[in-house]
Amino acid sequence: MKHTDYFHGPLRRNPANPRYFTDDTGRAIYLTGSHTWAVMQDMWLEGETPIITDYAGFVTMLADYGHNFMRFWQWQQVKNAPWNDVPTVFTPQPYLRTGPGLANDGLPKFDLTKWNEDYFQRLRERIEMAGAKGIYASIMFFEAWGIRWAEPHNNPWTFHPMNPANNVNGITDNPVVDNVRAWDFHSLNCPQLLHHQKAYIRKIIETVNDLDNVLYEVCNEVPNRQEAFDWMDHIANFAHEVEAAMPKQHPVGITAEGGDQDNAILFENCADWISPSNGTMFEYRYNPPPGDGRKVIVSDTDHLWGHGSETQWVWKSFTRGLNVLFMDAWQRITGELSYYQDGSVTRNQRYYYAWDDMRRNLGYARAFAQKMDLNACVPHGDLCTSGFCLADPGREYLCFFPAGGSEGLTLRGQPGEYQAEWFDPATGKTHQGGVLKGDARHALSAPFDGASVLYLRRVGA
């Protein structure tokens, strides 16, 4: 299929229901999908055989599972990652290595004013490949998790092109504020670095501005400090300003630092969408607060579990008006990571037993989103006993019952008859549930064991 078969203009916040995006069709567009780390750069352990990502296979997998969204990771360092003692190599990079002089990796220094056009051609081609499968891609400008947790022996800043030791551009800014950690790289305290950051962002935007399937993300998991959030707000504003003079405008998002930070700060900025952390009581993981439309919320397992998930989380989030993303080990991250172990089995693998259930349920939820009128459906936790209900009262309802067994639903005040449909998220099978009378309460049980999804539509609606 062609790009235009899937997309009808770039995404923008939906005025009819600002929990979601829309396009030129005016319909609400629910975003969900998987993302993996090596989509732009190939990654492998130094000294080992290079690993070339099957990017075409990855976007095909997304489409096969019914996904329509991915994060498009970019890594700025040439090598080093704080999850490994052995250096991880990241290639390609966006700048030319012209010298004179050698960088910390023993190769010619970078010139931050000269672009590696092959890099940006790869960027564009891969966003187009995603678009050819109906996938929106959120291009990540910067990655901060590695800098945030660096130690002397695995510090990404040592091999970062913007480190003064690695380029010919006369930079004197020193962003190191915590031992070896260059936290001020993600702040407004380093004007020379900020200048080059903005030039890089402008180049990315110029490369993909004409494509409809584009979103932007300022940075992955900045340190939880005010300086970093001020910087993200500044960068988001800058991206908006650059695109304001261009043919198309795309949404810009910011993401949490992960963990249990207070998410209130994410709502106090110019971003179009946000990805929250767990929150103070792990609420976004286990009992997601209903989206209220202040921001489009894309809840991402990356910021909630790190490397983990639960299929119930997909349905809890969906019925609370949240878009969802799954950090997927489809292309395993480099190294043997003890904290990704599940007993004797590693979660850092494509075929870990729980990952396929996640991929399938993301697609199942999107299938319901496509047949519902999400312009009119909002969270209504008061209408069913589980509290997980997305509804346009009097027309259609989607309820999630995580505990199985019997649950209650009220249709009081809503006359008519409602066709019921039960869906089993464990098997993907649909079971007809008969017709329910309106203006009444109902005690209900799914015709199968375990968690269930109930979909109601008023007859004749």
* CB neighbour list of residue 148: distance below 8 Å, 6 or more residues apart: 181, 183, 221, 222, 223, 257
Q: Which tens digits make up the pLDDT trace of 369-402? A: 999 999 999 999 999 999 999 999 999 999 999 9
Q: How many angstroms from the chain centroid is the CA of residue 253?
A: 10
The full set of domains in the chain, from first to last, is 3-371 (3.20.20.80), 380-458 (2.60.40)
Mean pLDDT of 168-188: 94
Band (pLDDT 50/70/90 cuts) for residue 251 is very high
Band (pLDDT 50/70/90 cuts) for residue 340 is confident
* CB neighbour list of residue 199: distance below 8 Å, 6 or more residues apart: 112, 113
Q: What is the pLDDT of residue 262?
A: 84
H/E stretch holding 193: helix 191-208
CA 71 to CA 285: how far, in whole Å?
A: 19
Residue with the bigger pLDDT between 247 and 336: it is 247
Contact, 413 vs 428, CB < 8 A? no
Q: What is the pLDDT of residue 250?
A: 98
Band (pLDDT 50/70/90 cuts) for residue 2 is low
CA 296 to CA 46: how far, in whole Å?
A: 40
Contact, 218 vs 252, CB < 8 A? yes
Angle between helices 226-244 and 191-208 (to 10 degrees): 40
Count of residues making up the chain:
461
The amino acid at 195: H
Q: Which tens digits make up the pLDDT trace of 400-456? A: 999 999 999 999 999 999 999 999 999 999 999 999 999 999 999 999 999 999 999
Q: What is the pLDDT of residue 267?
A: 95
Q: How many helices (H) and strands (E) does the chain have?
A: 10, 24
The amino acid at 399: C
In 421-455, which positions are buried (b, 16+ CB within 10 angstroms) versus exposed (e)? bbbbbeeeeeeebeebebeeebebebeeeebbbbb
Band (pLDDT 50/70/90 cuts) for residue 178 is confident
Mean pLDDT of 237-253: 98
| pLDDT at residue 4 tops 70 | no
Q: Which tens digits make up the pLDDT trace of 357-367? A: 999 999 999 99
Contact, 227 vs 189, CB < 8 A? yes
**Cross-strand pairs, 421:** 432, 455
CA 254 to CA 271: how far, in whole Å?
A: 6
